[in-house]
């Protein structure tokens, strides 16, 4: 008779074995070895339940390049812990060979040359092929497909159709339930409209109306698969009303609401749920802390921070899964249940290599249909890039440098501020900069590019405030996202210091002079959370800059000096 | 669009307007000492015990203008043993006092909820006076931030 504790330890050992070989047998593939569709799907099935999990698609229907970060610092207890590992450290931890398909999918170094070998990733027609194959193998009645949110935002077609393109595609994928974050920037009314009519459940235990403190969305849903009851509790980004414009959903309050999650778990168990899943847009470090405080969660499907890990992370009796972003990965979890409890979990992070996986014809046709109204616009070439353009990284990304350069030149500003968003595709040297590429990095419902004067003291306060949102040692104070990108100004940051004393050495780059606290500077920025922000949409600012420059070259950015990591 | 990008089209509202006004204000703010002085006015140098108070506030304010605060004090609320008063203070607003509640045994339980405006990141201090004259205190920090930059 194996106790639950022993079983979980056995599972931990199994997970460690899976981890040791990267993506299971795939990790042993020789460097530069391409994967086949069969390699990607290979899985030794377990139990009677399969969870499929995809998250943070950011409305990317088509295959794309997405470079993972080369700087991803953890602070406090997260320092040096996965997912805060990059490149060689990441590969060493997860036993991935440099130059392998997994290395290309999960790390950033040598990205340009590996991209030429392995091609683009993602594409929801490819995800559909994988999902259909697994449904065929397991039987539809054993499969539950969950979406971690940030699905309806991030492309021109999703912006123009108010998320309708994604709703249709995710319905066709037979999504069972989702949670939200960027979804809410479509406005409360639109989100309610979709949530009430969609074929999938839209769950959020932590959104309440301000007046009555009543739930705005169903907190959880119980599904039956493979003869097992599975409770899925939904968690929206707790900091949505701070990270995004709250005037777009003025009657809602968010928060983590740990005690309420605990109640949901207990109610779900009382209803006979053998598997309790938290479908969570908290962000990885927040969920890692939450897992140590809320009891009885079997699985947390994490989202928001865009981490992709080829192994589960265990906290107590809970396992955490991080499934990446932009449709690059589909996670599969097979779960065995014994005596009404989870007895074993087997996991694989399936990389969606678009050249290896045959597109599903039905889904490809639907994607063509929803993109058709915008197809001519999307394909329009504005200029070209000689540099690798990417976004991820705690302090800067070359695509953000391009956006900052555009604001400095087109808005005649001394200093540019661009939000530390983690979404948007990467472009390889030599690629065309199309309207699609520009809007994949900018498509939001509050795009106005402002121009105003700020004092040096105000600039420092902004950097301090944003830095505290990323580097606060308590994850419950972290909002996700990266440091605000700065053009025209350099600074030093000690990430280990407390709020108010991390930032120093502010320098006006053009003159080389220190930024003076009392002096006013002309600043341009975008994605203000304040209502009524004036200025042209950022995509037009970037388009005009690219059109005027024709060929974009981004120099290595060393304007931010980092210590304390 | 470049015709629309004149210097004039510009120094309106903007991202950090609300933030700038927050910084720009030169109001005198209360501090810990001001809160202590308020408590002293009511209760002199009486000892403030711990426990009994459940102070429920967000770690981070979603809107500094209307931050929810819920307080509940453990008590049987009988004639012999009840909560007489609950006071809530903030140590970073222009004035330290937020609200005071008085209770009688007929209230059944000593709980109250309201919303308060917070000018900046600060501590909320709650003092409960029991019918036997003893005092209890609880404290919570609430962060007020400019926001933006979601992942």
Chain B CA closest to residue A537: B1
Average pLDDT over residues B83-110: 96
For the beta carbon of residue A100, count every other beta carbon within 10 angstroms.
26
Question: CATH 3.90.780.10 in chain A, residues?
Answer: 380-563
Q: Do B151 and A305 touch (CB under 8 A)?
A: yes
Name the average pLDDT for chain A: 94
- Structure tokens given for B116: 């308060």
Name the average pLDDT for chain B: 84
pLDDT in tens, A365-407: 999 999 999 999 999 999 999 999 999 999 999 999 999 999 9
Domain assignments of chain B as residue spans, ordered by start: 30-142
Q: Establish if B3 touches chain A: CB-CB under 8 angstroms.
A: no
Counting one residue from chain A and one from chain B, the pairs whose CB atoms sit within 8 A come to: 147
Q: How far is A451 from chain B (nearest CA, A)?
A: 5
Confidence of residue B146 (pLDDT cuts 50, 70, 90): confident
Average pLDDT over residues B5-34: 52
pLDDT in tens, B49-81: 999 999 999 999 999 999 999 999 999 999 999
Q: Do A536 and B1 touch (CB under 8 A)?
A: yes
Quick one: what percent of chain A has pLDDT higher than 70? Answer: 94
Phi, psi dihedrals of residue A518, rounded to the nearest 5° = -90, -10
* DSSP classification of residue A76: G
What's the half-sphere exposure (Cβ side, CA atoms, 13 Å) at B128? 25
pLDDT in tens, A153-199: 999 999 999 999 999 999 999 999 999 999 999 999 999 999 999 99
| Predicted pLDDT of residue A33 | 84
d(CA A297, CA A488): 47
Measured between alpha carbons, how far is residue A220 from residues A361, A542, B19 in Å?
33, 42, 37
Q: In terms of Cα–Cα distance, which of A545, A485, A421, A416 is closest to A154?
A: A421
Confidence of residue B15 (pLDDT cuts 50, 70, 90): very low
Residue A400's H or E segment, with its range, is helix A398-410
- CATH no. for A4-29+47-369: 3.60.21.10
Q: Do A243 and B147 touch (CB under 8 A)?
A: yes
Name, in order, each residue with C-beta under 8 angstroms of B24's C-beta and a sequence gap of 6 or more: none
Q: How far is B132 from chain A (nearest CA, A)?
A: 32
Q: Do A477 and B143 touch (CB under 8 A)?
A: yes
CB A156 within 8 A of CB A374: yes
Burial of A324 (0-12, 13-18, 19+ CB in 10 A): buried
Chain B CA closest to residue A253: B62
Q: Establish if B14 touches chain A: CB-CB under 8 angstroms.
A: yes
Question: CATH 3.60.21.10 in chain A, residues?
Answer: 4-29+47-369
Topology classification of domain B30-142: Immunoglobulin-like (2.60.40)
The three-class DSSP label of residue A343 is strand
| Predicted pLDDT of residue A32 | 62
Q: Does residue A78 surpass a pLDDT of 80?
A: yes
- CATH no. for A380-563: 3.90.780.10
| Predicted pLDDT of residue B20 | 40
Q: Tell me which chain A residues have a C-beta less than 8 angstroms from the C-beta of B5.
A: 410-412, 536, 541, 544
What's the half-sphere exposure (Cβ side, CA atoms, 13 Å) at A172? 22
Q: Establish if B27 touches chain A: CB-CB under 8 angstroms.
A: no
Which pTM does this prediction carry? Answer: 0.91
Strand blocks (E) in A282-356: 299-302, 313-315, 318-322, 329-338, 341-351
CB B135 within 8 A of CB B127: yes
Q: Do A246 and B10 touch (CB under 8 A)?
A: no
pLDDT in tens, A18-49: 443 344 333 334 456 899 999 999 999 999 99
Q: Tell me which chain A residues have a C-beta less than 8 angstroms from the C-beta of B14.
A: 450-452, 525, 528, 530, 533-534
Q: Cα–Cα–Cα angle for A551, A553, A556, nearest 5°?
A: 175
Average pLDDT over residues A277-284: 98
Tokens 């006006």, residue?
A: A508
The three-class DSSP label of residue A151 is coil
Q: How far is A142 from chain B (nearest CA, A)?
A: 33
Higher pLDDT, A333 or A32: A333
Q: Do A540 and B16 touch (CB under 8 A)?
A: no
């Amino acid at each position: 008779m194996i106790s639950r504790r022993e079983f979980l330890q056995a599972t931990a050992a199994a997970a460690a074995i899976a981890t040791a070989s990267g993506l299971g047998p795939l990790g042993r593939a020789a460097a530069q070895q391409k994967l086949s569709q069969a390699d990607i799907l290979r899985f030794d099935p377990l139990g009677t339940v399969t969870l499929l999990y995809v998250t943070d698609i950011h409305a990317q229907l088509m295959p794309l390049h997405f470079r993972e970060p080369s700087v991803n610092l953890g602070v406090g207890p997260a320092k040096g812990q996965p997912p805060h590992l990059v490149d060689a450290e990441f590969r060493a931890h997860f036993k991935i060979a440099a130059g392998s398909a997994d290395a290309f999918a999960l790390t950033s170094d040598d990205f340009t040359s590996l991209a030429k070998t392995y091609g683009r990733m993602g594409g929801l027609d490819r995800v559909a092929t994988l999902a259909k194959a697994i449904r065929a193998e397991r039987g539809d009645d054993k499969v539950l497909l969950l979406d971690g949110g940030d699905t309806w935002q991030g492309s021109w077609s999703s912006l123009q159709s108010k998320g309708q393109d994604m709703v249709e595609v995710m319905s066709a994928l037979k999504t069972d339930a989702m949670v939200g974050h960027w979804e809410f920037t479509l406005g409360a009314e639109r989100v309610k409209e979709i949530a009430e009519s969609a074929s999938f459940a839209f769950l959020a235990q932590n959104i309440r109306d301000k007046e009555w403190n009543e739930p705005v969305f169903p907190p959880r849903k119980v599904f039956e698969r493979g003869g097992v009851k599975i409770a899925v509790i939904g968690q929206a980004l707790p900091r949505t009303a701070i990270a995004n414009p709250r005037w777009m959903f003025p009657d809602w309050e968010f928060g983590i609401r740990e005690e309420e999650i605990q109640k949901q778990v207990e109610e779900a168990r009382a209803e006979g749920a053998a598997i309790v899943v938290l479908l969570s847009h908290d962000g990885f470090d927040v969920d890692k802390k939450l897992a140590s405080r809320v009891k009885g969660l079997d699985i947390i499907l994490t989202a928001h921070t865009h981490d992709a890990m080829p192994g589960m992370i265990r906290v107590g009796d809970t396992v955490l899964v991080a499934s990446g972003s932009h449709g690059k990965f589909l996670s599969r979890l097979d779960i065995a249940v014994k005596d009404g409890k989870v007895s074993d979990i087997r996991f694989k992070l399936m990389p969606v290599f678009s050249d290896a996986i045959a597109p599903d014809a039905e889904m490809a046709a639907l994607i063509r249909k929803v993109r058709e109204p915008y197809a001519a616009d999307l394909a329009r070439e504005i200029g070209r890039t000689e540099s690798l353009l990417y976004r991820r990284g705690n302090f800067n990304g070359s695509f953000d440098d391009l956006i900052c350069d555009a604001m400095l030149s087109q808005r005649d500003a001394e200093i540019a501020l661009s939000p530390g968003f983690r979404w948007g595709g990467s472009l390889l040297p030599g690629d065309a900069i199309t309207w699609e590429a520009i809007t994949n990095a900018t498509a939001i419902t509050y795009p106005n590019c402002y121009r105003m004067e700020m004092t040096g003291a105000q600039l420092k306060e902004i950097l301090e405030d944003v830095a505290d949102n990323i580097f606060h040692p308590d994850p419950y104070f972290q909002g996700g996202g990266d440091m605000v990108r700065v053009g025209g100004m350099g600074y030093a940051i000690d990430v280990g210091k407390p709020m108010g004393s991390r930032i120093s050495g502010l320098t006006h780059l053009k003159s080389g002079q220190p930024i003076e606290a009392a002096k006013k500077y002309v600043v341009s920025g975008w994605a203000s959370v304040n209502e009524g922000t004036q200025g042209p949409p950022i995509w037009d600012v970037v388009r005009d800059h690219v059109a005027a420059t024709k060929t974009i070259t981004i120099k290595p950015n060393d304007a931010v000096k980092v210590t304390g990591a | 669009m470049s015709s629309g990008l004149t210097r004039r089209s510009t120094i309106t509202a903007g991202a950090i307007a609300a933030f700038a006004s927050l910084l720009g204000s030169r109001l005198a703010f209360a501090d810990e000492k001001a809160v202590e002085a308020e408590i002293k006015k009511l209760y002199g140098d009486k000892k403030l015990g711990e426990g009994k108070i459940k102070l429920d506030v967000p770690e981070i304010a979603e809107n500094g203008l209307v931050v929810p605060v819920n307080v509940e004090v453990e008590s049987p609320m009988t004639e012999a043993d009840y909560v007489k008063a609950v006071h809530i203070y903030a140590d970073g607003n222009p004035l330290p006092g937020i609200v005071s509640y008085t209770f009688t045994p007929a209230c059944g339980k000593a709980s109250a909820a309201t919303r308060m405006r917070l000018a900046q990141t600060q501590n909320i201090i709650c003092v409960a006076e029991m019918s036997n004259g003893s005092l209890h205190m609880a404290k919570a920090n609430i962060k007020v931030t400019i926001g933006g930059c979601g992942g």
